[in-house]
Amino acid sequence: MSDNAMEIDIDRGSIYLDGEWLTSADLTERMRAKIAAGDFKVSSLSLALEQLETLLGRLEMMSVKLTPEVLDTYARIAAHEQIPVAQLYRRALLHYLTTEEAATRLYESRRGG
C-alpha cells in the first residue's frame, strides 16, 4: 500500500474519505456535482475512486467448508463486532500469516522443501 492509501471496506465496496464511507457511485456523483458548480478540486475524490476501483477489480473469491459449530462461532463474533462474517474470516487468515508456522511454511515452499 502506498502512503496515500485510504481505508477500504471491500465487503461494502466503499472507501473512507473525509469522515465518511463512500461508494464508487458516491464519489462519481460528488465529482460531477463539484465540476458542475465550477469547483475543479476533485483530486482527492479522483484518487479515492481510483484506489477503490483498483482494489475491487483485483479481488479474488475463495470458498471454505466449515462445520456448523465453527460457522456459528464466527457468525456470533461477527454479530457482536457488527462486521460482516467475511471480514472476520479475512482477519483470521491474516492472523495466521503472521505466525511463525506460516513463515516457516512459506520459507520451505520457496526453497522447494
Distance CA(10)–CA(41), nearest Å, equals 26
pLDDT above 90 (res 10): yes
Distance CA(81)–CA(58), nearest Å, equals 27
Q: Is 82 helix (H, G, I), strand (E, B) or coil?
A: coil
pLDDT (average), residues 40-67 = 96
pLDDT above 70 (res 25): yes
Q: Is 59 helix (H, G, I), strand (E, B) or coil?
A: coil
List, for residues 60-83, the tens digit of each pLDDT value: 999 999 999 999 999 999 999 999
Distance CA(18)–CA(20), nearest Å, equals 6
Q: What is the mean pLDDT of the chain?
A: 93
Min mean pLDDT across 1-5, 8-12, 70-74, 99-103 is at 1-5
Write the CA distances from 9 to 39, 51, 81, 96, 107, integer angstroms.
28, 12, 15, 21, 31
Q: Are 79 and 85 in contact (CB under 8 A)?
A: no
Distance CA(33)–CA(99), nearest Å, equals 47
pLDDT above 90 (res 2): no
Dig out the grid coordinates for 77 from the structure: 463474533
